[in-house]
Structure 1
Amino acid sequence: MFGKKKAKPQIDKDQLELIENAQKRIKQKKRLYIHFVLFLIGCVFLIVANTVLGIGKDFTILGKEWFLFAVLIWLFLFLYHVFNVFVTHKFMGKAWEKEQLEKLVSKQQQRINKLKAGFVKEETLIAQREAYSEENSTKQELKTKGNLTIIVAAAENDAIGLGNKLIWHLSDDLKRFKSLTNGHHIIMGRKTFESFPKPLPNRTHVVITRQKNYKAPDGVIIVHNLEDAIDATKQDSQPFIIGGGQIYKQAMSFADKIELTRVHNDFEADTYFPKIDDNAWRETANIFHKKDVDHDYEFSFLTYERK
């Protein structure tokens, strides 16, 4: 127990700095107190020397005794000492310098962070522009491969199907579909393809599916996205998009023409055709058909071309 050394108290850097500053302030105030005592004693000595002992009794400055000016000068020096201890040191001392340095560093860091944020924003905008440019060039490349046409029959409320089946049976619409697509590639989703009893004659079917091992009859082209489907029709000057809803939605950015049979009625459905944007498309043909014994609804054959 006698061999153990006492542990030395640990003082961190900040605490040590506070102690040193406190010691400096004590010394400064002690010097100021000594100065004050000397000032009082000195003033009494000067007054006594002049008035009692007669030292310099005949010497005056501007008609006043010399000791008055000596006291005033000393008073000025004392007041300067007071100002230096309680004002100048407080605002211009080490603590003040440290505070100002921290403020400058903080402002500089804010500027650096602002510049970094600007660089990140600029890099993001550049990346977005490059992505947009790449997307547009891809779309342009796909468009040049053929006059891609969407063909669809949609109700006034844009309904196109329910339970993967057509909602209506319009003889003239089916004839028009056959006439326009005959001899061409037709692009469709898997569900649309499976809604056919068998592949449609005299047309090349391009089926889009996420299933990697999807089995289809010979002659049916299987792809996994719309871009590959359009690429598969590059030898065809007039490929068609025939459904379903998601494929139509994707194809609106690529298509050059829309052949729309507008059925003039509203229907309950689970699949809908996208809204046609009048700013992107213009109507170039409109043929109206009345309801008759072969057609339960009025309808119109509309053609839209991209502006």
Structure 2
Amino acid sequence: MFGKRKHTPQIDKDQLEILENAQRRVKQKKRLYLHFVLFLIGSVFLIIANTFLGIGKDITFFGKEWFVFAIIIWFFLLIYHVFNVFVTHKFMGKAWEQKQLEKLVSKQQERIEKLKANLVQEETLKLEREDLAEIQPKPTKKKSELTIIVAAAENNAIGKGNQLIWHLSDDLKRFKALTNAHHIIMGRKTFESFPKPLPNRTHVVITRQADYKVPDGVIVVNNLEDAIDASRNDVQPFIIGGGQIYEQALNLADKIELTRVHHDFEADTFFPEIDHSIWKETQNTFHQKDDNHDFEFSFITYERKL
């Protein structure tokens, strides 16, 4: 069960025919030799049985003892056997073998030529593909789209005492949906405003403090450039605050996802003014206040002008 599998050789049909024919001739010759030995022993036995033992001594055909006809019949059978082995062998002998050999050589030559042709074709296709690859521009890795996400009042207020000033359920849901499975870049104070790291996001914290302690999985850097570099494998890392980080990122970001709360608030942290000569508004969805939202607000998307 666990032994090595026996290799079964693949034999060409013509080669198999030659082999089977040779085996048949060997068997025929062996039978002929046995026939000849039996003929001699049988002939001697018949002569002794009739002459010395008197078996069938009175039986004659055409004036001859019966064993003479038995020996003649057996002899003719022997002659037929010899003919079958040696005379027939001439028709399938060396000339036939040579013909079969030539046929095999011819087939092998055809196969070799076909293999050569296929090899040349494959090499040609390979060279053509290499030439085409050199001509065609290599695909470039998609650039990360650095996105600022922020909720700001009409007077650009975003927080007070390191806390949000309002609670908008749909805004929190939007923040979660957009940042899920992405890197979120923030300052130390913003990170400390969370009870614990947000699930399914990679936190990148910017701080000047040496040996700043963070939970496993949180990345600590010293400046915004290093934070962006740490997020280079993310197609859309997000800047989530606070005020100083937003101000630095505004010159580097590609997109702004803004929740504009239509009210003015007292605050100690503000979002920078958006320069509409640099940013174009591409989407705006207004939400009225309701039982779950104390203020009217809009979801606005800005993209940097080319």
Q: What TM-score do you get using the length of structure 1 for normalisation?
A: 0.53
Provide the residue aligned with 1:156 in structure 2.
Answer: 154
Higher Cα Rg, which structure: 2
> Of 191, 199, 202, which aligns to 1:201?
199
Provide the residue aligned with 1:273 in structure 2.
Answer: 271
> Of 183, 186, 193, which aligns to 2:184?
186
State the alpha-carbon separation in 2 of the partners of residues 230 and 146 from structure 1: 9
1:252 has 2:224 as partner: no
State the alpha-carbon separation in 2 of the partners of residues 238 and 157 from structure 1: 28
1:246 counterpart letter in structure 2: Q
1:189 counterpart letter in structure 2: G
State the alpha-carbon separation in 1 of the partners of residues 259 and 279 from structure 2: 16
Provide the residue aligned with 1:167 in structure 2.
Answer: 165
Instruction: Give 1:243 shift.
Output: 0.1
State the alpha-carbon separation in 1 of the partners of residues 214 and 143 from structure 2: 25
3-state DSSP class of the match of 2:303?
Answer: strand
Provide the residue aligned with 1:295 in structure 2.
Answer: 293
2:184 counterpart letter in structure 1: I
Instruction: Give 1:145 shift.
Output: 4.5
What does 1:71-150 correspond to in 2, within 5 Å? 145-150=143-148
RMSD: 0.7
Provide the residue aligned with 1:213 in structure 2.
Answer: 211
1:276 counterpart letter in structure 2: I
1:163 counterpart letter in structure 2: G
Q: Do the aligned residues in 2 keep the contact of 1:208 with 1:229 (CA within 8 Å)?
A: yes
Q: Do the aligned residues in 2 keep the contact of 1:188 with 1:241 (CA within 8 Å)?
A: yes
3-state DSSP class of the match of 1:191?
Answer: helix
State the alpha-carbon separation in 1 of the partners of residues 206 and 168 from structure 2: 27
Q: Do the aligned residues in 2 keep the contact of 1:145 with 1:231 (CA within 8 Å)?
A: no
State the alpha-carbon separation in 2 of the partners of residues 291 and 147 from structure 1: 32
Alpha-carbon displacement from aligned partner over 1:208-249 (angstroms, at most 9, x marks no partner): 000011000000000000000000000000100000000000
Q: Percent identical across equivalent pairs?
A: 79
Provide the residue aligned with 2:49 in structure 1.
Answer: none
State the alpha-carbon separation in 1 of the partners of residues 276 and 262 from structure 2: 19
State the alpha-carbon separation in 2 of the partners of residues 267 and 216 from structure 1: 32
2:153 counterpart letter in structure 1: A
Alpha-carbon displacement from aligned partner over 1:64-95 (angstroms, at most 9, x marks no partner): xxxxxxxxxxxxxxxxxxxxxxxxxxxxxxxx
Q: Do the aligned residues in 2 keep the contact of 1:145 with 1:235 (CA within 8 Å)?
A: no
Instruction: Give 1:306 shift.
Output: 0.1
Unaligned runs of 5+ residues in structure 1 are: 1-143
1:158 counterpart letter in structure 2: N
State the alpha-carbon separation in 2 of the partners of residues 179 and 202 from structure 1: 11
State the alpha-carbon separation in 1 of the partners of residues 288 and 280 from structure 2: 24
